[in-house]
Amino acid sequence: DIEMTQSPSSLSASVGDRVTITCQASRDITNYLNWYQQKPGKAPKLLIYDASNLEAGVPSRFRGSGSGTDFIFTISSLQPEDIATYYCQQYDNLPITFGQGTRLGIK
Amino acid sequence: VQLVQSGAEVKKSGASVRVSCKASGYTFTDFYIHWLRQAPGQGPEWMGWINPKSGGTKYTQKFQGRVAMTRDRFITTAYMELSRLGSDDTAIYYCAIQVGRNAFDIWGQGTLVTVSS
């Protein structure tokens, strides 16, 4: 199975800050990576697909980049509604696997 | 496009549970239905998929022999049955589909399954 390792596991930032989350795959997954946002009591919501493509309706402050084994998820200017847990997910190989999540809070 | 799941379940260890996922707003046979689960404080875990057109399935090895995914095309509903439940099966179970990209862009609301001894 491909292991997905996210860093950090949690972080706090101020409104307006730039936030960066990293995701590392245990082997090359090309760009077969997606990013999700999950708020308490809700299903995950797709934000970024194929490493860098913004899902329709998702604010442009969210951005994804990377390929191979190393990926970055960025929020350019943190907003209060961005408080959530974020997950990366690979689909290069079955079984589909997710990172353990990054819990984002407000300072 | 919507997926609506059945309600919460409480089961004893060793029992089985069946969760349903009613699809609407699209042609049921167009997209595989995936099942995932999320234990408390953990990331989602993919369990497998069912092809609604053929009924063919693919399960992750972890659940082989213990999970069965089925569907009823006439009522556009998919089912996931998990047997021999243990306390570590306590989780929220989701169905999800990939509409137009290789990502889970439509999710059910989730079904909490609690396993007690």
Does A103 have pLDDT greater than 90?
yes
Question: Which amino acid, residue A8?
Answer: P
Encode pLDDT of A22-31 as tens digits: 999 999 999 9
Please name the helix (run of DSSP H) or strand (run of DSSP E) that holds residue B97, with its range, or none: strand B91-97
B58 and chain A in contact, CB less than 8 A: yes
State the count of interchain CB pairs (< 8 A) between A and B: 52
- Integer CA distances (angstroms), A80 to A8, A65, A84, B89, B114, in order: 19, 23, 10, 34, 32
Question: Which amino acid, residue B9?
Answer: E
pLDDT at B100: 82
- Residue ranges of chain B with per-residue pLDDT less than 50: none
pLDDT at B117: 83
Does A21 have pLDDT greater than 90?
yes
Question: Which amino acid, residue B14?
Answer: G
B86 contacts B98 by C-beta, under 8 angstroms = no
Mean pLDDT over A65-78 rounds to: 98
A44 and chain B in contact, CB less than 8 A: yes
**Shortest CB distance from A98 goes to which of B43, B105, B108?**
B43
pLDDT at B24: 98
Give the residue on A whose Cα is nearest the Cα of B104: A46
Single out the residue of A80, A84, A68, A81 nearest to residue A21, CA to CA: A84
Mean of per-residue pLDDT scores for chain A: 98
Encode pLDDT of A35-53 as tens digits: 999 999 999 999 999 999 9
Contact B109 A32 (CB under 8 A): no
Alpha helices for A10-94 (secondary structure H): none
**Shortest CB distance from B105 goes to which of A55, A97, A100?**
A55
Give the residue on B whose Cα is nearest the Cα of A4: B43
